[in-house]
Amino acid sequence: MDTTTAGGPSATYDRIGVGYHGVRRPDPRLHALIGRALAGARTVVNVGAGTGSYEPEDAEVTAVDPSRVMLDQHPGRLKVRATAGELPFSDGAFDAAMAVMTVHHWPDPRAGLAELRRVARRQAVFTWDPAHRPRLWLEEYLPEISAMDEARFAPLEQVVDGLGAHTVLPFPIPHDLTDGFQTAFWRRPEHFLDPAVRQANSTFAQLPPSVVEPAVERLRADLASGAWHRRHADLLERESVDYGYRLVVAGE
């Protein structure tokens, strides 16, 4: 199935999605957490599916994404080009709906969350709480991230209320997370020097090179001089840090 519906392509991911799968490899620990929330579901719709990370192996999954570039990298058979705000499915069509690191891309999160409730009996949404502290040290180099992420990410209460959720599970970020989302490299700062890592991250990709490049050079210099390691010696001792990622679960 490949249905093009209203909403048009996701311009961001049509631009930055090439090579996504190489950097954004699903992490087994996050996969297990999401898998437990989806246990028993036989049919699952993955909204903002991207390349298919975190989909359960034991369910029939329908992948939904507005980006052609992302859907082309998705290995599944059932793929639908659509946006969260207008899901082309009947009420209660699926046992469960999942949405992972995508709600911040939806122009109207309330409408998208209502659609997840309409088309499925259970929902599992993985997102980031913009009110959470601490923030990643990356903001020392790129203070622009803070305002941008606060504007993009829905407050956690909005996601909880929008779904009528009964459970919110924290996911502290392990130091060796395999999925290169923004905080993944909290203990591996040298990864931010890699343009491929930055390309697979929508925050970096949406900031102009004139802002990002000097920041990356400041980080490079601090890594070379040891200044970063002196400033963040406490982090080097830690196995995981709670940076505000949450799995929000609702329904039956």
Applying CB under 6 A, among 62, 73, 83, 123 the residue interacting with ligand SAM is 83
Among 37, 45, 59, 70, binds ligand SAM (CB under 6 A): 70
Min separation Cβ 211 and ligand SAM, Å: 20
Q: In what order do the strands lie in the sheet with 245-251?
A: 78-80, 60-64, 43-47, 94-100, 120-128, 245-251, 167-170
Nearer to ligand SAM, 24 or 198 (CB): 24
Stretch that binds ligand SAM, among 33-41, 45-53, 226-234, 240-248 (CB under 6 A): 45-53
Residue whose tokens read 């200044």:
227
65: contact with ligand SAM by CB under 6 A: yes
Between the alpha carbon of residue 44 and those of residues 16, 55, 94, 250, the distances in Å are 26, 8, 6, 14
Residue 84 near ligand SAM by CB under 6 A: yes
Q: Cβ 181 to ligand SAM, closest distance in Å?
A: 7
Closest-CA residue to 249 (of 170, 162, 168): 168
Which residue in 34, 37, 41, 53 binds ligand SAM (CB under 6 A)?
Answer: 53
Interface residue with ligand SAM among 38, 48, 184, 212 (CB under 6 A) is 48
Task: Number of residues interacting with ligand SAM: please give it, by CB under 6 A.
Answer: 20
**Using the 8-state DSSP alphabet, how is residue 223 labeled?**
H
Between CA 59 and CA 201 the distance in angstroms is 28
Give start and end residues of each alpha helix (H) in the chain: 11-16, 20-23, 28-37, 68-73, 109-119, 138-141, 144-152, 156-163, 195-199, 202-206, 209-225, 227-231, 233-236
Q: Does 222 bind ligand SAM (CB under 6 A)?
A: no
Does the footprint of ligand SAM cover residue 21 (CB under 6 A)? no
Distance CA(98)–CA(119), nearest Å, equals 11
* Using rule CB under 6 A, residue 67 touches ligand SAM: yes
Residues that bind ligand SAM (CB under 6 A): 10, 13, 24, 47-50, 53-54, 65-67, 70, 83-84, 100-102, 105-106
